[in-house]
Chain A
Amino acid sequence: MATSNTGVEVRLPSAPRGRGLRLGGTRGVDLIAKMLTLVAAVSVLLVTVWLVIELWEQSELSRHAFGFRFLLDRAWDPVFGHFGAMPFVYGTLVTSAVAMLIAIPLGVGAAIFLAELAPRGLSDTLTFLIELLAAVPSVVLGLVGIFVVVPWVRTSFGPFLKDIFGFLPLFQGPIYGVGFLTAGLVLAIMVLPFIVSISREVLLSVPNDLREGALALGSTHWESTWKVVVPTAGTGILGSIFLGLARALGETMAVSMVIGGTPQIAASLFAPGYSIASVIADQFAEATGDLFRQSLVELGLVLFGITVLLHAVARLLVNTTARKAKGAA
């Protein structure tokens, strides 16, 4: 500062410019770090691109044979070499929808309890236990599905729904135990820990100023939570929901164990069905013939497409809510 007052310019010693790489010097280290992280970033991207290319090339036969009809065709007939993705797309979407319908209110509700109402010690313990649920291998949850959820749906939950909502096509027809509903229930269990633990974290990060601000205006504890804290955490909660949805769409093992393995489109949730991920896992090993195998690969491509689409929608939603909250609009 003093230099500018007196008009005397002091040249600070600076790193020599344009002298190339000085290994061991600051610039050398910076460069190496930059290259390493760049390589890491690029390789992640390359894996994704490579994956899409492989899926695309490996499904060439099927794509040429069926074209866009593949997406809309309801038939899946390996004997006559006739393949369509519709029943699997339907199964994937329906089971995920059932899962989210159950998991969103339960998960967000639990997160609100854990973040806003429960004493901190209890909250941490319960959250730990809930997060453990996320670590349970899906095949184990599949077993639980077969031995617990399937009989329960067949003998109690299914008949109960049928009694009350039997007038809806969703709850008509014979109850096998396996089917869309059961797969959705098992998926809900798998998705819950994601929604609960992330939503809780987001709620806890809401500044206390806002809680006090709402309370100071005479809100009850619940009003301050529901009208101020939850909306503030909205973007993050939405993020946790989409993370859960991504898991539900791609889940393979547990679904394949309880969905029934029947490629059909049925209005009833009690009916057995099939999902994209589970049919690939079930049938790939015994896929005879190139067309059969390539149709399964194309199913993988379709699943990838659905996931990308939903991810884009999620991004859009999160961005718009975030922008609305920040008021940049």
Chain B
Amino acid sequence: MSATDAARLDVTQNLNPEKAQETAAVPEAGRNQPAVKIKARNVDFFYGPKQVLQGISADIRERRITALIGPSGCGKTTFLRTINRMYETVKNARADGELLLDSESIFDLALPHLRRRVGMVFQKPNPFPKSIFDNVAYGPRVHGLANGARLAELVEQSLRGAALWEEVKDSLHKSAFSLSGGQQQRLSIARALAIDPEVLLLDEPCSALDPISTAKIEELLFAIENRCTLVIVTHNMAQAARVADYTGFFLTGKLVEFNDTKTIFTNPSRKETEDYITGRFG
């Protein structure tokens, strides 16, 4: 057995058995995959004259977890921020190509509407300097979704959805800053869930957290998967193997390979992917 094979096996052990089975159960040819939620075709991205994404094409499946992996600066976060047009806060940033949410181009949607449907959780927990309740209620209030008792109910649901309710139910009116880092990140997820998004983008949501908080978040992702499509950027390949149904490998602005997670980790078709997941670089 070569060293490469050994390393590959090692990562494979991280594959979630449930997930692996699920994917394996799908017949190889003509399988009835879930519907395409986000369809990217030849997406290019530029910061001023500098091109950072080249011809990204991918189908992101509905109510599944898709992980984007790759070395730093390869464009995975940029691609994520293209999906909800978060890149527009940066001057001179420009995206080209076709990017469809269901069948509508995201470039045609009004920003508040797009971002209501496509939520985002950031690398660093970013609670607002408000109470826990007001943090979660922020989205519903901005969009005028609920008030009074209905709002309280929605906040509770969202906090339960983010597995945080039991820990904070007696301190809803305390500042969000009183929570630990892991709790703050789950609060960010609850805040995003409160407006019932169809897609949730997660940009390295665990990179600032300890292993226990990370495990909680990963568990949480499986629970949310039933209600929305998840796209997660991660540096941690073991994490991608554990949580994702599909994995995309980015390298220097290109999507080198995109397939179901098992295939990517056990039988990648591209040499670069294999080199990366076996730890030859990155």
| A interface residues (Cβ-Cβ under 8 A, vs B) | 207, 209-220, 223, 227-228, 231-232, 324-329
Given contacts A218-B111, A227-B138, whether A213 and B126 have CB atoms under 8 Å apart is yes
User: For residue B86, which residues in chain A have a CB less than 8 angstroms away from its CB?
Assistant: 212, 215-216
**A206 → chain B closest CB, angstroms:** 9
**B196 → chain A closest CB, angstroms:** 11
**B175 within 8 Å of A by Cβ?**
yes
Known: A209-B122, A217-B138, A327-B177. 12 other contacts (CB 8 A): A212-B126, A215-B115, A216-B122, A217-B191, A218-B112, A218-B113, A219-B112, A220-B112, A231-B129, A325-B175, A326-B177, A327-B176
**B207 → chain A closest CB, angstroms:** 14
User: For residue B29, which residues in chain A have a CB less than 8 angstroms away from its CB?
Assistant: none
Given contacts A218-B142, A219-B112, whether A213 and B128 have CB atoms under 8 Å apart is yes
The dominant DSSP class at the A interface is: helix
User: For residue A231, which residues in chain B have a CB less than 8 angstroms away from its CB?
Assistant: 128-130
Bound: A216/B120 CA distance, A: 6
Bound: A280/B128 CA distance, A: 48
With both beta carbons as reference points, the residue of chain A lying nearest to B115 in the complex is identified as A218
Bound: A214/B115 CA distance, A: 10
**B75 within 8 Å of A by Cβ?**
no
Report whether B128 and A216 are in contact in the complex, using a CB–CB cutoff of 8 Å: no
Report whether B195 and A232 are in contact in the complex, using a CB–CB cutoff of 8 Å: no
With both beta carbons as reference points, the residue of chain B lying nearest to A229 in the complex is identified as B128
Report whether A218 and B116 are in contact in the complex, using a CB–CB cutoff of 8 Å: yes
Within 8 A of A (CB), among B67-117: 84, 86, 89, 111-116
Q: What size tier do the contact residues of chain B reach?
A: 20 to 34
User: For residue A215, which residues in chain B have a CB less than 8 angstroms away from its CB?
Assistant: 86, 89, 111, 115
Given contacts A211-B89, A212-B89, A327-B178, whether A217 and B126 have CB atoms under 8 Å apart is no
Bound: A324/B131 CA distance, A: 9
**B119 within 8 Å of A by Cβ?**
yes
**B268 within 8 Å of A by Cβ?**
no
**B158 → chain A closest CB, angstroms:** 12
Bound: A228/B120 CA distance, A: 17
With both beta carbons as reference points, the residue of chain A lying nearest to B130 in the complex is identified as A231
26 contacts between A and B (CB under 8 A): A207-B126, A209-B124, A209-B126, A211-B89, A212-B126, A213-B188, A215-B89, A215-B111, A215-B115, A217-B115, A217-B116, A217-B139, A217-B142, A217-B192, A218-B113, A218-B114, A218-B139, A218-B142, A220-B112, A227-B142, A231-B129, A231-B130, A325-B177, A326-B177, A327-B177, A327-B178
| Contact of A216 (CB < 8 Å), options: B113, B115, B129 | B115
**B174 within 8 Å of A by Cβ?**
yes
With both beta carbons as reference points, the residue of chain A lying nearest to B91 in the complex is identified as A119
**B186 → chain A closest CB, angstroms:** 14
User: For residue B178, which residues in chain A have a CB less than 8 angstroms away from its CB?
Assistant: 327-328
Closest 6 CB pairs of A and B: A327-B175, A327-B178, A209-B126, A218-B115, A216-B120, A218-B116
Report whether B175 and A214 are in contact in the complex, using a CB–CB cutoff of 8 Å: no
With both beta carbons as reference points, the residue of chain B lying nearest to A232 in the complex is identified as B129
Bound: A326/B111 CA distance, A: 31
Interface membership of chain B positions 125-141, coded 1 if the CB is closer than 8 angstroms to chain A and 0 otherwise: 01011100000001100
**B143 within 8 Å of A by Cβ?**
yes
Given contacts A209-B124, A212-B86, A327-B174, whether A217 and B129 have CB atoms under 8 Å apart is no
With both beta carbons as reference points, the residue of chain B lying nearest to A326 in the complex is identified as B177
Bound: A322/B192 CA distance, A: 26
Given contacts A218-B111, A218-B115, A219-B142, whether A213 and B122 have CB atoms under 8 Å apart is yes
User: For residue A223, which residues in chain B have a CB less than 8 angstroms away from its CB?
Assistant: 142
User: For residue B113, which residues in chain A have a CB less than 8 angstroms away from its CB?
Assistant: 218
**A234 → chain B closest CB, angstroms:** 8
Bound: A324/B128 CA distance, A: 12
**A138 → chain B closest CB, angstroms:** 37
Bound: A179/B116 CA distance, A: 54
Report whether A218 and B143 are in contact in the complex, using a CB–CB cutoff of 8 Å: yes
With both beta carbons as reference points, the residue of chain A lying nearest to B125 in the complex is identified as A209
User: For residue A329, which residues in chain B have a CB less than 8 angstroms away from its CB?
Assistant: 174-175
| Contact of B129 (CB < 8 Å), options: A211, A219, A325, A328 | A325
User: For residue B126, which residues in chain A have a CB less than 8 angstroms away from its CB?
Assistant: 207, 209-210, 212-213
Bound: A227/B134 CA distance, A: 11
With both beta carbons as reference points, the residue of chain B lying nearest to A234 in the complex is identified as B129
With both beta carbons as reference points, the residue of chain B lying nearest to A217 in the complex is identified as B139
